[in-house]
Amino acid sequence: MANHTGISATELAGSVGLILAVLVEVGAVLGNGTLLVVVLRTPGLQDAFYLAHLCVVDLLAAASIMPMGLLAGPPGLGSVPLDPSSCRAARFLSAALLPACTLGVAALGLARYRLIVHPLRPGARPAPALVLTAVWAAAALLGALSLLGPPPAPPPAPARCSVLAGGLGPFRPLWALLAFALPALLLLAAYGSIFLVARRAALRPPRGTRLRSDSLDSRLSFLPSLRPRLPGGKAALAPALAVGQFAACWLPYGCACLAPAARAAAAEAAVTWVAYSAFAAHPFLYGLLQRPVRLALGRLTRQALPRLPKVCMQQAWNPRTLLQRLQRLHKDPALGPSEGPEQTPELAGQSSNVSRGHLRDFS
């Protein structure tokens, strides 16, 4: 009975994990696809190049390594075994796309730092194409390290197709340092500087118009402030969310890379899908929490939804039609149409204006 109960609990935990993984996959595809469409359809959006790059990386991960994590056999969540060629492909994609994501997030944070802290120095900003070329060069180099690891084992043994389960061999500490420690330091430095500037701007005594404080609040007004005494206001909340999300999603995976391969393989499924949840969180953290992106999404949604015909509504709610109906209701039935009370032009104009005002309130 105890053995049967243990198997049932294991199967239940596996089913719950599979459902959560599917939800993360669907959220990553829908969120990044929607944000990519909004960025491409909205000219003049700040950090559009970096946002589009982050969406593309997340979509590539959602189309390649996440389905492998759902369908592949242990240590994945599925039961499909991988042959040696597929195992090498899974190693390379995991070792390349994860650094491309983390380094892309760090590049986005540095771009926002330069845009907010140094808005009047455009010459100090490198070209986004150059920055993202360096990101992909580093990602390709880190992906090539996976090809130097031990070869995949034959099918009866564990294939070790992931980064955590020995896919990088002795290069795992180097890969973790460049893929997680370096982006974390860059992100912490960028958003820490933004937080300090926002705090100084918020604590500065009001002297006329505070252009710096208004600029920070307009560029970083992600959410309403949690409390009025929060130093920095709305601008201080954005760095905390960005750094907190990065640490919550990627810190367990980076620590597992530094652990022994046997212990890392035991916790591979959990820490891998915690890291994959970042692909679903990026569209909300870096997209929907920004006011320009929300406004652009609302505009595109209104344009995409079918509009109801206004002919019947205009005829039904025409002010003249309403006045005629009110006159018919208040008329004496014994009187003819010509004997009813007449309205002066001033009264008719006032009634029309009042009707139009009520119509604007209900529209």
Which of 110, 277, 118, 133 lies closest to 187 in space, CA to CA? Answer: 110
pLDDT the model gives residue 353 = 47
Determine the average pLDDT of the residues in 144-150. Answer: 81
Which is higher by pLDDT, 202 or 39? 39
pTM of the model: 0.74
pLDDT, tens digit, 9 for 90 and up, residues 203-245: 766 665 554 444 554 554 444 444 444 445 566 677 888 899 9
Residue 72's beta-bridge partner residues?
A: 80
Which is higher by pLDDT, 240 or 6? 240
User: Quick one: what percent of the chain has pLDDT higher than 70?
Assistant: 67
SS3 32: helix
Which is higher by pLDDT, 52 or 307? 52
Q: In the numeric block, which tokens belong to residue 154?
A: 């034959």
Handedness of CA 136, 138, 142, 145 (dihedral sign): positive
Residue 30 has pLDDT above 80, yes or no: yes
pLDDT the model gives residue 333 = 52
pLDDT bucket at 352, cuts 50 / 70 / 90: very low
Determine the average pLDDT of the residues in 128-146. Answer: 92
Which is higher by pLDDT, 354 or 55? 55
The Cα angle at residue 55 between residues 51 and 57, in degrees rounded to 5: 115
Determine the average pLDDT of the residues in 15-38. Answer: 92
Average model confidence (pLDDT) across the chain: 76
pLDDT bucket at 179, cuts 50 / 70 / 90: very high
Residue 254 has pLDDT above 50, yes or no: yes
Please state, in angstroms and rounded to a whole number, the distance separating the CA atoms of residues 43 and 52: 12
Residue 350 has pLDDT above 60, yes or no: no
Output the CA–CA distances (angstroms, integers) from residue 155 to 75, 175, 324, in the order listed.
Answer: 13, 27, 85
Token pair 């995976």: residue: 253
The alpha helices in the chain, defined as continuous H runs, are: 2-41, 48-63, 65-71, 84-117, 128-147, 172-176, 182-203, 211-220, 234-258, 261-266, 268-283, 291-304, 311-316, 319-330, 345-362
